[in-house]
Amino acid sequence: MNKFIAILLSLTFVLVACSSGEADYKTISMDEAKEMIDEENIQVIDVRTKPEYDEGHIPGAVLIPLQELESRLNELDKGTPYIIVCRSGNRSQQASEILVENGFAKIYNTSGGMNQWNYEIEK
């Protein structure tokens, strides 16, 4: 019985150690992003520049340019799920990494960015 308990405790320790790694973000397509926007309570953050944003953005998206993101983290709720968007997917990946490093757990990076957004835009 003692061996069984020791093995069980060891397995529990290994599982906890493996699962307690850093949080990560998930990369999704723009089609998946559209589905999530339509079906879930989720906030879109656009990390492009203001001129890019003004040319057209996802309706309801909040503009926080990548270069301002770290100084504006206090404007965001760590419990809210966020979809991160840029022009092509590079800046959104950087922004997703910044958010995860700062304790945000529900981050969805978009691959292809606005170049792949085939839906309604707001100007």
Catalytic residues, which ones? Answer: 86
The helix (H) or strand (E) run that includes residue 62 is strand 62-63
d(CA 97, CA 107): 9
Using alpha carbons, select from 33, 94, 87 the residue that is nearest to residue 69: 94
CB 50 within 8 A of CB 68: no
d(CA 87, CA 80): 23
